[in-house]
Amino acid sequence: MSPNVYIVHVAVSTGRASDRAYEVLREEILQWRLAPGAMLAEVEQSARLGVSRTPLREALARLSAEGLVEAQSGRGLVVASVDTADVRALFELREALETAAAALAAARRDPEDFAALASEFRGAAALVGRHDLDAYYGLVARFDEAVDASLANPALVGALRGVRTHLRRIRRLAHDDPGRLERAAAEHLLIAEAIRDGDADLARHATAVHLHASLRHILENTPNEQKEST
């Protein structure tokens, strides 16, 4: 047994088997360690993860419900595809949810929370310059969490988190371009400042501008083999 397989086996066996299998597979899909179209054969995955087939099936059912796994004729379950149509549809939903969330956050926020985040975003370009992308994406995640905490709306928060799951996978298409990340940091700064100041209209508009720029960048940098055929 290889060291990597042993590590996964220990992680899965320390908790409820189906939950741990779900967590491992989900992270591998989001990080593209399991690429779109990768087969998820039960026998192979059970052996690799160190779980029986029943908890594996439960994990795969949860991933299928999230849209990360799909059935493919003649191949069984595979990692769900990503193409231009998926990206456009996700961003349509994302814009509707996130612009509404930004406006609500501006009305309900704790100004000090967003003042602190705005200060951090002023230095985010330096994180990108040092290639400290974990710190940069961690800052973006904390911004999302602060918005969610401001909303006092569990239904909206749940919908946002579902969209962000797929966003994590899709943003890999942009290859973590430093120039785009620096511009995105400036866009986040404007949104954070608008929420801090309680300016709902500016928060909504700045969020829409950020999302349009992100979508354009992803579409321009999607490999040809993943663009929908016309």
Domain count, the chain: 2
**What is the predicted pLDDT for the residue at 39?**
94
Q: Mark which of 29, 60, 79 sits at the end of a domain.
A: 79
**Residues 147 and 180 sit within 8 Å (Cβ to Cβ):** no
Q: Mark which of 79, 103, 121 sits at the end of a domain.
A: 79
Interior angle at CA 20, CA 49 and CA 2, nearest 5: 30
| Residues 106 and 158 placed together within one structural domain of the fold | yes
| Residues 157 and 47 placed together within one structural domain of the fold | no
| Residues 104 and 180 placed together within one structural domain of the fold | yes
Of 62, 11, 16, the residue nearest 40 (C-alpha) = 62
pTM exceeding the 0.85 threshold for the entire prediction: no
Low-confidence residues of the chain: pLDDT under 50: 1-15, 225, 227-230
| Residues 64 and 102 placed together within one structural domain of the fold | no
CATH of the domain at 134: 1.20.120.530
* Token pair belonging to 211: 């999302």
> What's the rounded Cα separation, in Å, for the pair 216 and 36?
22
**What is the predicted pLDDT for the residue at 224?**
55
**What is the predicted pLDDT for the residue at 223?**
59
Q: Mark which of 79, 99, 131 sits at the end of a domain.
A: 79
> What's the rounded Cα separation, in Å, for the pair 190 and 197?
11
| Residues 126 and 163 placed together within one structural domain of the fold | yes
| Residues 26 and 98 placed together within one structural domain of the fold | no
**What is the predicted pLDDT for the residue at 155?**
96
Residue-range definition of the domain harbouring residue 60: 3-79
| Residues 105 and 158 placed together within one structural domain of the fold | yes
| Residues 71 and 90 placed together within one structural domain of the fold | no
